[in-house]
Amino acid sequence: MSKPKSNNTKTISVALTLCLVCSVLVSAVAVGLKPSQIENARLDRNKNILVAAGMYDAESDTPKDVAERFKDFEVKIVDLSKGNYLDDDALNEAGIPDRNAYDASQATKNQALSEDLGDNDPAGIGRVPKYAKVYVKSDDAGQPEMVVLPIQGYGLWGTIYGFLTLESDMNTIKGISFYEHKETPGLGARIEEPEWRAKWSGIHSYDENGDVATGVTKAGNPKENWVDGISGATLTGRGVSNMIQFWLGEQGYKPYLDALREESGKTIDNADTQASQLTQPDNQTAQPTTELAAALPVANGKEA
Ligand SMILES: Cc1cc2nc3c(=O)[nH]c(=O)nc-3n(C[C@H](O)[C@H](O)[C@H](O)COP(=O)(O)O)c2cc1C
């Protein structure tokens, strides 16, 4: 009787060929899906901009509907320290050839496009971009009706990304949305819920001295112009509070918002504070910030 031939070489070559075929297939699928992943991420981000702007309609949210509503916004790149828009020359000089493709989060990985916050980093973001991408909706007279500002900061488990919309006074909050985070479902993730997000609408960001005067309190401690936190999610609430205060502050959008307000001749007027926010204070205080005026050369751009 003949012994079965040991055929290790054949077995190994079949296994290797199989591995090679599988890896080529997986890579091809990954590469093939990349454009639709990028497109879906863009669509999701644009939806969240509409949510923060109070312009999202769940009943008509096809890509076409979202794109149609999104047309109302101009994309602008803001120099955060000066508070002005970058025109095309300044964009080229800054190494941002396409404002629509600019990603401020990615820019924080580039030394030339961002600054190290060192110990002065309440939002836990490490580096702040020098330039931010904002979305501006103007009224018929060409005046900003609202601005949607990207915000990000560390929650309990990771970085939370969102958008904050301010009304034309650059003080009253119109809405807020969060589109990426690692908080726990049922606890910190409740920041996404419409009921909690609705608490932000109508509150004021700054006091009459121009200092940031909003944030998130611990649950059950209502305070004028602050949002009541989520029970069992104090740490996420603190993260959201810190990020809001950071981005509304001097290192964030404050120079830009001051400049917009100055340009439109508006001042901070909190006389219309809603009765629901006039409740007893707790012991939390907002971070102080200072005034900084800036000129506003205009550069336009529509997001594709
Ligand atoms: C598994 C697990 C997940 C948690 N996730 C969150 C979270 O996403 N956000 C948060 O603030 N707290 C979370 N907590 C609770 C925090 O540890 C902490 O107890 C809570 O923030 C305190 O809030 P409270 O003072 O309102 O009770 C989690 C706790 C556990 C055990």
Domain ranges in the chain? 9-71, 74-277
Residue minimizing CA distance to atom 13 of ligand 1 = 233
Ligand 1 pocket, mutate which of 196, 218, 235, 240 (most atoms under 8 A from CB): 235
Report which ligand 1 atom has the smallest distance to the Cα of 184. 8
Ligand 1 in reach of 188 Cβ (< 6 A): yes
Q: What is the pLDDT of residue 3?
A: 54
* Cα 52–chain centre separation: 10
What size, in residues, is the chain?
304
Structure tokens at 291: 């005034």
Ligand 1 in reach of 241 Cβ (< 6 A): no
pTM of the model: 0.83
Residue 304 pLDDT class (50, 70, 90 cuts): very low
- Given a cut of 80, whether residue 290 has pLDDT beyond it is no
For ligand 1, the distance from its centroid to the CA atom of residue 237, given in whole angstroms, is: 10
- Given a cut of 50, whether residue 67 has pLDDT beyond it is yes
Tens of pLDDT, residues 132-185: 999 999 999 999 999 999 999 999 999 999 999 999 999 999 999 999 999 999
Q: What is the pLDDT of residue 269?
A: 87
Residue 5 pLDDT class (50, 70, 90 cuts): low
Q: Where are the alpha helices (DSSP H) in 124-264?
A: 194-198, 234-248, 254-263
Bridge partners (DSSP) of residue 128 are 115
Cβ atoms of 152 and 125 within 8 Å: the answer is yes
- Given a cut of 90, whether residue 6 has pLDDT beyond it is no
Q: How many CB atoms lie within 10 A of CB 104?
A: 20
Ligand 1 in reach of 264 Cβ (< 6 A): no
Average pLDDT over residues 184-201: 97
For the chain, how long is the longest CA-to-CA vector? 102
Residue minimizing CA distance to atom 14 of ligand 1 = 233
Structure tokens at 104: 């401020």
Instruction: Specify burial of residue 188 (Cβ count, 10 A radius: 0-12, 13-18, 19+).
Output: buried
Q: What is the pLDDT of residue 31?
A: 81
Q: What are the C-alpha distances in Å from 97 to residues 46, 77, 85, 100, 114?
A: 21, 11, 14, 9, 17
Of all residues in the chain, the percent with pLDDT exceeding 90 is 74
Ligand 1 in reach of 124 Cβ (< 6 A): no
Tens of pLDDT, residues 218-270: 999 989 999 999 999 999 999 999 999 999 999 999 999 999 999 999 899 88
Residue 276 pLDDT class (50, 70, 90 cuts): very low
Q: Where are the alpha helices (DSSP H) in the chain?
A: 8-52, 63-70, 88-93, 104-107, 194-198, 234-248, 254-263
Average pLDDT over residues 189-203: 97
Ligand 1 in reach of 90 Cβ (< 6 A): no
Ligand 1 in reach of 249 Cβ (< 6 A): no
Residue 111 pLDDT class (50, 70, 90 cuts): very high
Ligand 1 pocket, mutate which of 159, 182, 187 (most atoms under 8 A from CB): 187
Q: What is the pLDDT of residue 271?
A: 80
Average pLDDT over residues 33-53: 91
Q: What is the pLDDT of residue 272?
A: 66
